[in-house]
Amino acid sequence: MNKIIYSFVLFFSLIQLSCKKDNRDSVAENQDLIKDAKTNTIIRPIPNEVLEKLDDSLKLYYAKLNNYEIWYNDENRTDLINEIKFCHKDGLNADDYEFDKIKELESKRDKMDDNEIIDYDILLTKNYRKIATHLYKGKLKPTQLYKDWDLIKKELPLSDSLANAIKNTRVSSSLKNLKPKDFMYKRIKRSLVLLEEFPDYHFNKIEVKDKIQLNDTTPIIVSIKKRLKYWKDYTKTDSIITPIYDSTTFVAVKRFQKRHGLKPDGVIGKGTVKALNFSKNERREQIIANLERWKWFPHDFGNEYILINLPDYSLNFVKDNDTIENHTVVVGKSTRRTPVLTSKISNLVFNPTWTVPPTIIKEDLTPSATKNRNYFDRNKISIFDKAGNIVSPEFWDPENSKSYRYVQSPSYNNSLGLVKFNFNNRHMVYLHDTNHRDYFSREYKALSSGCVRVENPLKLSETILKLNDEKWKKSEMDTIINRKNTKTIPIKNSINVFLLYWTNWSDGNQLVFREDIYDLDKKLYESLGN
């Protein structure tokens, strides 16, 4: 009597079968075949000589299931095949997972011998591993693409995930659980669905020399109206499209500008024309790049966190999944990019001094002070030599400008303003107030030297301090600022800070895009090889 084998939390009855041979031993020879008592499906052992040829990762997958075939169940195979078939919804490409080959082999599976079934099983396992990895942490490694990106490395025991999925016939669910769960990822996915509703259409480039204002008449307005109509911003049904920039078109332009993060003033200038000239295919590539990027980001942001989207020039403070306040920010220029990173707020510094960083010494301070030594007094900057002695501007040596330390005194017009927010990172960047408060009203806000300047920073300070153990009051904060002495307040409660980068999402049934300020989208899409 064959003994009963318990495996995969299912009951299997032992059977003895003879199998065909190819150049290797039959999978059944000297090994036990088992049968799934629930589905009456034969489950074949993986021969040792086959296991030995697998890489360590695949060996672990099979070891988790006692070195038997994994994909014996029709439902599990169907789930995997369907996930691969529709992976484009997550910005992936079915060709990367040998979809056509798998589809062909699946149609022939009933006629396969045991060894062919084992080979097919390994093919499925390899591609489960591949698509699971890509869904969880993306196809590419950000550290290999960007030297200034510091994201926490994501690891997941995928072999455990597959083992649990096979046992519970939940392959589809296991893959869905690997995807980013943040609402923004879902909004980016939604934008891909919305985009596909637009017809394929070849766009001719719109060229505008001068800004176009309301009531202007110019032939290019006809093309602009057609483009706005294509993107559903212009909803009027016209039998004849005139070259007049009328009030209906004015409203449509403002709607378009708002969706693209442009100043919604209705004036058609360079920024608006640039956004109008994006084709459907270019927007698709941009969305796919953003889906990849979000797979790199953390799956769990925590209960309290500051989330900054660099291209959107926005800061959101989130507590218990609710945005409790938001701020406009200024970020680094394209030549001095703000890095993408994750960290934790460590302390706030009121009335901070500002030590001029090396890049600004080289590119700003030295050239300006060489022309006029009054630069130091005008900007309240003190010069210190290596011994810590104050150096008079008249004895400052521009040829050795790097050998000095430059410190700006606290004031309302200090480069850091009235407060800065420190968090640990290797780039020496932080959040801070600014002496250029007019920058927040500009359309293009990639204007800093790398740090993030925050509008209304004292409101953000108040919120952070209220969450701190000491429960600071606004009056206490005001007293510190009015005394004009530098004071550092440690933040004991953990508040995560995320400086991230994404240029697309959806808002209801509307597509939303932002200018790719660091020109990352196109290069990322090309690197994906889709």
Give the residue numbers marked as catalytic.
432, 451
Q: What is the CA radius of gyration of the chain?
A: 30
Please calculate the CA angle 90-301-316 and round it to the nearest 5 degrees.
95
Positive/negative CA dihedral, 98, 100, 101, 103: positive
Give the β-pairing of 340-350 and 496-500: antiparallel
Q: Which two tokens stand for residue 263?
A: 């100043």
- The packing angle between helices 74-85 and 114-137, to 10°, is 50
Cβ–Cβ under 8 Å, residues 489 and 272: no
CA distance 11 to 34: 9
Residue 81 corresponds to which amino acid?
I
Q: Which two tokens stand for residue 218?
A: 């110019």
H-run or E-run covering 488 = strand 487-490
Q: Would you list the DSSP string of 190-248?
A: HHHHHHTTSPP-PPPPP--SS-B-TT-B-THHHHHHHHHHHTTS-----SS--SB--HH
Contacts of 63 (CB under 8 A, 6+ apart): 159
Q: Which of 230, 259, 236 is nearest to 248 (CA)?
A: 236
Task: Collapse the DSSP code of 490 into the 3-class scheme (helix H, G, I; strand E, B; otherwise coil) and give the result.
Answer: strand
